[in-house]
Amino acid sequence: MSPFIMSFLLSNLALGTIITAASYHWFFAWIGLELNTLAIIPILSKQHHPRATEAATKYFIIQAAASSIIIFSSMLNAWYTGTWDITHLTTYPATISLTLALLMKLGLAPLHFWLPEVMQGTNMFSALIITTWQKLPPMSLLFLTMNNTPTTILFLMAILSTTIAGWSGLNQTQMRKIMAFSSIAHLGWMVIILPLSKT
C-alpha cells in the first residue's frame, strides 16, 4: 500500500472519530462510526493473505451489525421523542439496544468473540489501531449518553468482561490474543468507571 493511501486512510480514521465525538445528532454520530469502519477495512486487509481477509470480513460484519442497531435505536428514540439529539435518549428499548450495540462495537463480554479472532488475523500495527483508536468513538458515545444508559447492564457486562478476559488471557500463548483479552478486561474497568465517576 502506498504511503499516500495509508495517510488518507489514517486521516479518515481521525476524521470519523472527531465527527462522532463532536456530534450531538445521531445521524452524524453514525456517519462518523461508519467512516471509521470503512477506513479500517483496507488497513486490515492490506496483507494479501487469507487470514487478513477473513479478519477484515469478520470486523466488517460485526461493526456493520452494531452500526445498524445504533441507527435503529436512534430512529426508535426519534420516533418517540421527536428529536435526534444524543442527550435526549429517553426511550427504554432504545437505550438498551443502543447500549448493547456500543458494547458490541467495543468488544465487551459476552459480545467479545470477534475481537481475539480479528486481532489474530492482522498484523501488529492493525491490532494496535483496533485496540486503541477504534475504541474512542464508541466510548465517546457511551460518555455522551451516560445519564440515560442502564447501569445494571453496564455493571453486568463490565464484571463479565474483566472476569472472562482475565481467565481467557491466562490461557493464551499468542501475543495478539493476549492483547485482545487485555483490551477486553481493561474496557470492562473503563465501562464500570463511567457511571461511578464521570469526572
Three cell numbers at 75?
430512529
| pLDDT digits 0-9 by tens, 15-60 | 999 999 999 899 999 999 999 999 999 999 888 888 999 999 999 9
Going by pLDDT thresholds of 50, 70 and 90, the confidence category of residue 196 is confident
Q: Tell me the domain boundaries of the chain.
A: 3-196
**In the predicted model, is pLDDT for residue 3 greater than 90?**
no
Per-residue pLDDT, 198: 66
What's the CA gap between 102 and 125, in Å, rounded?
Answer: 24
- pLDDT surpassing 70 at residue 197: yes
The secondary structure of 47-104 as a DSSP string is S-SHHHHHHHHHHHHHHHHHHHHHHHHHHHHHHHHS--BTT----HHHHHHHHHHHHH
- The x, y and z cell numbers of residue 177, run together, are 490474543
Spatial separation of the C-alpha atoms in residues 91 and 77, rounded to whole Å: 6
Q: What is the mean pLDDT of the chain?
A: 90
Q: What is the pLDDT of residues 72-126, one digit of tens each?
A: 999 999 999 888 888 888 888 999 999 999 999 999 988 889 999 999 999 899 9
Question: What pLDDT is stored for residue 58 in this prediction?
Answer: 94
Q: Tell me if 120 sits within 8 A of 176, measured CB to CB.
A: yes
- Whether residue 150 is preceded by a cis peptide bond, meaning omega within 30 degrees of 0, is no
User: Which triple of cell numbers denotes residue 126?
Assistant: 492493525
142 grid coordinates: 457511551
Give CA angle at 170 (168, 173), nearest 5°.
100
